[in-house]
Amino acid sequence: MKLLTLFAFCSLFAVRAFAGEPVYTVDCNGGGDFRTVQECFDALPSKPDGWRTVRILPGTYREKVTLDVYKDCVRIVGVGGPERVRIVWNDHSGKVVDGYEMTTYDTWTMSLQADDVVLEGVTVENDAGRVGQAVALETRGDRICIDGCRLVGDQDTFFTKGYVSRVYVTDSWIEGTTDFIFGPSIVLFDRCRIHGKADSFLTAASTTERNRYGYVFRDCRVTVAEGVTRLYLGRPWKSTARTVWIRCELPAAIRPEGWRDWHDSARKGDVFYAEFGCFGPGADRSGRVAWSRALTDDEAAAYTPEQIFARKTGSEAFRSDWLPVAPLPEKGRGAGAQQ
C-alpha cells in the first residue's frame, strides 16, 4: 500500500493531519492503492487511533459503497471536485436482486454508517430514474460533514437515516423529485442549492420528539427544473417533524401555502415548520398554512451550529457538543452548489 504524507490540512472537524497519518488513494484506472472505493473502505482498520484520508482520483465509480459503522475518522476527498469524481449506482424500491425485493432502505448508492466522517468534492448519484424510491446518499453516523458535493437522484435522494446523528452540509447541490431530503437526523444545510425536478415536496423530516432541531436550511437557494410550478417546502413523515428555512431564496414555484400535510390531519398537531428572512417570489407568507409560523428575531438567533449541534438538543444519546468549522479553500476543489 502506498502511504502518502500530509503535512497539514484543516478539515470540517478542525482536525489537522500530521506527517505520518495514512492517506489511501483510489484510482479506477489502476494508478492508486485501490481500484474501487469499496475495496479501500474494506481495507481501513476499524476503531482507529487517528484520522485517515481517502483520496478518490477522477473517474466514474459504478459501485454500491458502504463505510462500515466501525470505520470512524475518515476524510473522503474527491480530487478535482464533484464534476470529476462520481460514485453511481441504480438500486431502487421494487428491484429484485437474488430473489429479494428491495425497499427504500436498501437502495442507497453510498451509506456512511461511521461517526466522524467528512465527504468533500464528490458526486453521489442514483441513476435508476423515476422508478420510485432510489436513495443516493444515506447517513447513519454522528458528526458527519458534507462539503462541496453533489447529491443526485429523483425520489428520496438524501436519506438522513440516523436517529442519533448530526450532519452538517455546506456548499453542496442536492436534487430530486419527491421527498428528496428525508429522515430523522439533525441536519444543518448552509449555502446549498436545493433543486426540485418535479411538482412535489422538497423535504420529509421525521424528527424524533426528543430533538429540538430537525432540518435547518440557512442561506440556501431553491431552484427548479423547467416546467415545475407546484413545489412545497416540506411535509411531515412523522408528526413531530421540524423543518426551518432561514434567509433562503425561494422561487415562484413554491406554493402559497408553503407546506403540506401527509393526508392525516393529526400530523399537524406537533410539527414545527417555520421560516425567517426568506426572499424571492416564493417567500410571501401571507398564504401559508395556519400551522406553520414565522420565527421572531430572538428565535432565529438560536439557529446556530453551537445550538443545533449541542449535546443537549433533546436527545440524551449525544455524548458531547459538536462544533464543525468551515474548511480552508483547496486548489482545484469544485463547489457543488455553484452550478
Active site residue 179: yes
Q: Is the Cα dihedral 77, 81, 85, 87 positive or negative?
A: positive
List, in sequence order, every residue forming a beta bridge with 144; answer none if it has no partner: 117, 167
Q: Residue 75 forms beta bridges with which residues?
A: 53, 118
Q: 100-101 and 96-97 as β-strands: parallel, antiparallel, unpaired? A: antiparallel
Instruction: Tell the burial category of 329 from Cβ atoms under 10 Å away from its Cβ (0-12, 13-18, 19+).
Output: exposed
Query: What one-letter code names the amino acid at 227?
Result: G
Amino acid at position 38, single letter: Q
159 contacts 137 by C-beta, under 8 angstroms: yes
Question: Long-range contacts for 91-94 (Cβ within 8 Å, ≥24 apart)?
Answer: 91/64, 91/126, 91/128, 91/134, 92/126, 92/128, 92/131, 92/132, 92/133, 92/134, 93/131, 93/132, 93/133, 93/134, 94/131, 94/132
Cα(116)–Cα(167) distance, integer angstroms? 10
Report yes or no: 111 and 119 within 8 Å, Cβ to Cβ.
no
Compute the distance between CA of residue 54 and CA of residue 21 in angstroms, rounded to an integer. Answer: 11
Q: Of 27, 147, 156, 179, which is the active-site residue? A: 179
Lookup: cell for 220:
440556501
Residue type, 288: R
List residues with catalytic annotation: 179
